[in-house]
Structure 1
Amino acid sequence: MIDTRLDERHETLRKTVAAFARDEVAPVIGDFYRREAFPYEIVAKMGRMGLFGLPFPEEYGGMGGDYFALCLVLEELARIDSSVAVTLEAGVSLGAMPIYRFGTEQQKREWLPSLCSGQMLGAFGLTETGAGSDAGALRTTAVRDGGEWVINGNKAYITNAGTDITGMITVTAVTGVAEDGGKAISTIIVPAGTPGLSVSQPYSKVGWTASDTRELRFDDLRVPVGNLLGGEGRGYAQFLSTLAEGRIAISAVAVGLAQGCVDECVRFARERETFGRPIGKHQAIQFKIADMAARVHTARLAYYEAAAKMLRGEPFRRESAIAKLVSSNAAMDNARDATQIFGGMGFINDTPVARFYRDAKILEIGEGTSEVQRMLIARELGL
C-alpha cells in the first residue's frame, strides 16, 4: 500500500519546527534581511534543538534521525524564511555530510560533534567563477609537499564561509591527472583561520540576505596530508554524490517557500477587499491560488519520493533531479503569483511575499541549475 502520511516521529518533529519558525523566526527575520545580517541567535537556537545533527548517529553527537527528517525541517523553516533554511541545509548536507560519508573515523570524531551541535558551521568549497555547472573546469590546485598539501586558487559563492562560527571548509582541488587524461580532483579539509586562507566580505545579494555567502582565496595554504577527505582523486565522485543528496534538501527548501506563498495569499485573500467583498471571492484569485497549491502538492510528492528511494538505498539521481527541477519552478512561479496577488504591497520588502520573490530565483540556480537538472534527467533516460 502506498502511504505518504508522516509517522508519529516525523510529524512531531515537523510540528515542533513549524512552531519554532512561526514563533521565533517570523517576528524578527525581516530586520535581519534589512540589515543583511547573519541571525546568530536563531542559528544557536536551532543548534540547541539538535537540528544540525538530525541525520547523524548519536555516537558523533547527532540525533540519530534520517535525511528525510532534515528535509521536513527545511521545508517548515523555508515556509517562513529561506535564509535560515539554507544556512541549515548548507551546514548539514554540504558542510557536515561529506565528513560523515567520506571521512576517516578520526576525521568524523574530530569534526562532527561540533558540526552536529551547531556550535560550528561547515562549508563546501566547490564553485569557482569559471566552474559552476561545469565542475570539471576547476582551477584550484593542491600539490603535495612532504607531509602537506599546498593549495592555491579561488572559490566563489560559498555559503557559511565566513561567519564567526565557521570552523572548516571542504575544498575541491585538482591534485593531478586522472587515468583518462582528465583532471584528478580531490577533496581536502581546510580549517577556518588557516594561514593562506582569505575570506572576502559578504556578497550583496538579491535574496537570502540573512545568510552568509563569500569568496575564498587560497595562497600557498598548507594543511596536513591527513586532511584529505576520502581517497586521492575521488573528489569528483564525492561531490556528485553530495550534490545528488543536496538536491533533495534544496527541493524541500523550495517547497517550503512555495507553500509559504500559498499561506500568505490565502490569508491576504480573506482580508483584502475590492468592490465590496474579499478578493478571495473573485474567481480569478481563487484559480491563481489553486494553481499555486497544486504546484506545492506536486513538488512535495517529488521530493518525498526522491528521499524515500535514497533511504532505501535505491538509485535516486533521476528522482532528485526531477524534484529539484519541479520544486524550484514551483517556488519561482508561486513567488511571482503571490506578488501579483498582493499588488503594490507585494513590492514592499517588509512583506513576506517580497522576501519570497527575492529568494526564489536562486533556487533555479544553486546546487545545479534547471538546465543541468534537465541534462541529468535526459541522461538517466538514456539520451
Structure 2
Amino acid sequence: MTGTKILLIIGGGIAAYKACELVRLIRRDGGEVTCVLTDAGSQFVTPMTLAALSGNPVHTSLWDLKNETEIGHIQLSREADLVMVCPATADLLAKMQAGIADNLATTLLLATDKPVFAVPAMNVRMWQHAATQRNVAGLRSDGVHVMDPDEGPMACGEFGPGRLPEPEVIWTAARRLIGGGATLRPKTSLSGRHVLITAGPTHEPIDPVRYIANRSSGKQGFAIAEAAAEAGARVTLVAGPVNLPTPAGVERVDVESARDMERAVAAALPADVAIMVAAVADWRARDVADQKVKKDGGDPAPLPLTTNPDILAGLAQSDKRPKLVIGFAAETENIVPHAQAKRLRKGADWIVANDVSGDVMGGAMNTVHLVHAGGVENWEPMAKRDVAARLVERIMDEFPD
C-alpha cells in the first residue's frame, strides 16, 4: 500500500471516532490519507486530531479561497486512488444518490473519477428504511461500493444492523478494492457458514481447590470469534475459564477441562471451519482427590499425570471433519519449524504459530506466522483483533462467493 492515496470523507455520527483508527491503519501500511470533515462530522472528531494522525491538512469547507482559486475540490477528487466515505450517514447516502452537491464532501463525490467506497453507519431503523435501501441499491447500480454495516448493540441502545464495522475490517476491504478487485466482497461473505472456535485455557483439577492451568487469556480466540461473526458466519465459541464478554452474535459454550472441551467440540459439529485457538493442557492429574490434599510437613507427594485428549488431531481425523481445520501453536523457540511439524502431525490445514516467550499471553499484541501446505506467511506485529480480522479474511478466500 506504500504511496497509495486515500481521500477519506468523514460524515456525522458517533461512529466518526473510528475514522481516527482508520487513518492510523492507512498510515501504518504506507498509505497517504487526506481527510475531508463534514460539519456534522466535526461535532464528533476535530480537524486537529485528524491532521495530527494523517500528517496532512484537513479540509472542511468548499469556500477556501486559495484552494478554490486553483479549483481545489476538483484536484482533491482526482488525486486519490480511492475515495472513502466513512461513516456514511443516511443523509450522505441520500445526497450521493440524488447527486446533490451542497458542501465540500458531496461536491467531491460528484467531481471524482475514482472508485468510491461507502461504509454506512446509522440507527437500525434508518438503515432498514425503504428510502435508505433504495438509495443503497441505486448507488451500487451506479458503481459505488457500499459495505453492509455490522449487526449489534448501538450507542442509541437498540440492536440490529447499522453499526460501523471495525476499522481493520474496513481497511482490509478497501485494500481489496485498491488491489484491483472488480467488486467489494460483502461483509456477509461467510454467511451460511458455521465456524467453530475454541479459546482460553483449560483447568485440570488436582483436588477441589487446586488445578493445572496455563496463562492463556482467551483474547485471541474471542477476537477471532467476533471477526467471524462480523463476516456473517454462525459462530460457536467453546471457551475455557476466562473473564471476557461474549462477542455479539456468537453462541458461547463454557467449559472447564480438556475433556469437557472435547465433548463440546464434538457436540457442535458439523462445521465448515474449525479454529482451535484454545491452549489445552497436555496433561491432567491421573487421580483427582475428593478432598483438599494436605501438606504433611515433608516433601510434596508425587502427582501422577496422564495425557489429555488431542482435540485438534481428533477433529482433523473425524468423519465430520470441517473443510478447513486451523490449529494454533504457542511456542517459545524454533517457532516456524515446530509449527510445520505440528501441522503434519495433527493433520491440520493451517497452523497459526506465535512466540509466547514474552508477554503475548494476556497481552494485546501478537506476531504470528501462518503455516500451510503452500509455505509460510510471516505477518507483522499487530493487535490481536487485527490478527483476527486478517485471519478471517484469509478464511474467506477458501469460501468464494
- TM-score (ref. length: structure 1): 0.26
Greater fraction of residues in helix: 1
* Structure with larger RCO (C-alpha < 8 A, sep 6+): 1
